[in-house]
Amino acid sequence: MAGRSLTLVLAVVAGACSGPSGRGGDAGGGGRAGDAERLYQEGLSWARKAETAPLPPPPPTASGVGQNPARLAAPEFKPEELRALESFEKALAAQPDHAEANLALADLLAPHAIRRYAAELQARESAARSRPRRGDPASDAPVATPAPVIAVDASPARVIRAYEAAVQANPGRTPVDRLIAFAVRVGRLDAAESGHQELLRRVKESAEPYAL
């Protein structure tokens, strides 16, 4: 009797030790996926609020004297955009292959990347036009100092990586179309060509990808 009781106790202890640990991996994976989806939905909510939120005002000057507020640049990102970006980044940290979070992050950063790219092009063109020619007197005009911006990586390279991750995780056409459109806007024709090739593989019954 005592032997059977001891055997039963050992069996119960062994089951208690092995049961939760066996479910732990599944629960952990499901928990991470659940967290990623929750954070993605949270980011979508902030992104929608950002669409109608007012632009942030320019920062106050240090002295407040002799400065024209109209000449000060407003912050590049709305607070709602920053909250959305934070949520999308956390979602991707929990689940890097979350297709919707990658696509949403790319869509959020794309307009900023396009504006930065256009501003850089304009600055280079202006610098080329204002470069003194041989024989021209040197200009003493002060060089304008750009307004400080929040250090957010909104580079074309980051946006393209996010679109490409969405393409890999989503077999549909939407992320491919958005990758191509963005890549063309920022002069990344290599990424646009890669997107067109992917579109040919995904849309086989239509001549449209060939026309594009």
**Rounded-to-integer distance, Cα 113 and Cα 23, Å:** 44
pLDDT, residue 140, reads 53
pLDDT, tens digit (0-9, with 9 covering 90-100), for 174-187: 999 999 999 999 99
Query: Tokens 């939407």 correspond to what residue?
Result: 174
Give the pLDDT confidence of 110-159 residue by residue, as tens digits. Answer: 999 999 999 999 888 888 887 666 665 555 555 444 444 458 999 999 99
Mind listing the pLDDT tens digit for each residue in 63-73?
Answer: 444 555 444 55
Q: Give the SS3 label for residue 207.
A: coil
First to last CA, the chain: 82
123-160-39 Cα angle (round to 5): 115
Residue whose pair of structure tokens reads 């307004």 in the numeric block: 147
Output the six-digit token pair for 211: 């026309």
Please give the Cα distance from 178 to 176 (Å, whole number).
5
**Span 9-38, pLDDT tens digits:** 344 334 444 444 443 444 456 778 899 999
Which segments of the chain does DSSP mark as H helices, in order?
2-52, 79-94, 99-130, 156-169, 174-185, 189-202, 208-211
* Distance between CA atoms of residues 63 and 53, nearest Å: 29
Task: Identify the three-state secondary structure at position 38.
Answer: helix
Give Cα separations from 191 to 93, 116, 155, 156, 166 (angstroms).
25, 18, 14, 11, 14
Count other C-beta atoms under 10 Å from residue 44's C-beta: 17
Task: Please give the C-alpha separations between residue 17 and each of 12, 31, 51, 202, in angstroms, as whole numbers.
Answer: 9, 21, 51, 48
The alpha carbon of 62 is separated from its chain's Cα centroid by a whole number of angstroms, namely 32
